[in-house]
Amino acid sequence: MRVIIMTGSHPRHYYVAEQLIKTGKVVGYLTEQRGSFVPSPPPHLTEQDKQNFIRHFHDREQSEHAMFPETIDVPDSVSVRKVTVDQLNSAETIEWMHKLDADLLISYGVHKLSDELLDEAPERAWNIHGGLSPWYRGTTTLFWPFYMLQPNWAGMTVHKLSSKLDAGDILHHAVPELEYGDGIHDVANKAVKQVAEDLHYILSNLQLDELSFTPQKSAGKLFLTSEWKPEHLRVIYQLFNNDIVDHFLDGKLPKVDPPLVRAF
């Protein structure tokens, strides 16, 4: 098995790449340089909303840097390509990918791959989506389960790459174990670790021809970037003080388990 991986450049992306490279099956690694992880609060916010915003993104950065590596060591046997978003779908990237003659492409944390690139990609191409599809598709999908008071629906989806966002047939859902004291960012980062471990197992122990996929038939929602507002953070920090998991584990919130798809 020969695998190409394409990821962003934040610590969580590096962690996933590192776990996949450890399988010894990765022949190419593309990284897309992503933007700042800590945005500035919009000017129109009330003082409380501003503080919630600062707390949220500061804590996200601290949690991610504490749990994941800043860089990774890539063996000389792996071809490395570093790109900007403008270079991601370029002819040079397509040529680089084509020359590696891989059996599988896995993407995580990069911008949308073009139809032209997908046409030249290996027949098997998967995406790692931060969110449980089809119920949480689109963006900010590890935030919305907490806003909906469903922390056990915060997880990751491995699905076939398609031209339609987060809509490909599902191979695997990964969800972390919730523990007392977990905040929103702890759960998100544990979900990333879980999907990395699960994919490491899949690539190391299962045959590509034997894997089965489940179509996304159930109704869900595609969350847009424009739908998230800093004011939504009031639920996380003012109403619950980031202890939604504790309330859930204490039985103070309704418990409905997601119908997960598992590859093993």
pLDDT over 80 at 167, yes or no = no
Query: Is residue 81 in a domain?
Result: yes
Q: How confident is the model at residue 171 (pLDDT cuts 50, 70, 90)?
A: very high
Q: How many domains does the chain have?
A: 1
In 3D, which of 245, 236, 263, 243 has the Cα closest to residue 56?
236
Residues in the chain, how many?
A: 264
As a whole number, mean pLDDT of residues 106-127 equals 96
Query: Is residue 260 in a domain?
Result: no
Query: Is residue 229 in a domain?
Result: yes
- Residue 135: which domain range? 3-35+43-249
Q: How confident is the model at residue 162 (pLDDT cuts 50, 70, 90)?
A: confident
In 3D, which of 245, 139, 105 has the Cα closest to residue 186?
245
What is the per-residue pLDDT for 231?
A: 98
Query: Is residue 64 in a domain?
Result: yes
What is the per-residue pLDDT for 32?
A: 97
Query: Is residue 259 in a domain?
Result: no
pTM of the model: 0.94
As a whole number, mean pLDDT of residues 42-69 equals 95
Cβ(55)–Cβ(230) below 8 Å: no
Query: Is residue 109 in a domain?
Result: yes
Query: Is residue 173 in a domain?
Result: yes
What is the per-residue pLDDT for 164?
A: 74
Residues 6+ apart with CB under 8 A from 224: 138, 139
What is the per-residue pLDDT for 71?
A: 86
Question: 105 in helix, strand or coil?
Answer: strand
What is the per-residue pLDDT for 69?
A: 87
What is the per-residue pLDDT for 110?
A: 96
As a whole number, mean pLDDT of residues 139-149 equals 97
Mean residue pLDDT across the chain: 95
What's the CA gap between 16 and 56, in Å, rounded?
23
Pairing type for strands 104-108 and 3-7 reads parallel
Query: Is residue 257 in a domain?
Result: no
pLDDT over 90 at 109, yes or no = yes
CATH number for position 179: 3.40.50.12230
Note the pLDDT tens digit of each residue in 80-90: 999 999 999 99
Q: How confident is the model at residue 35 (pLDDT cuts 50, 70, 90)?
A: confident
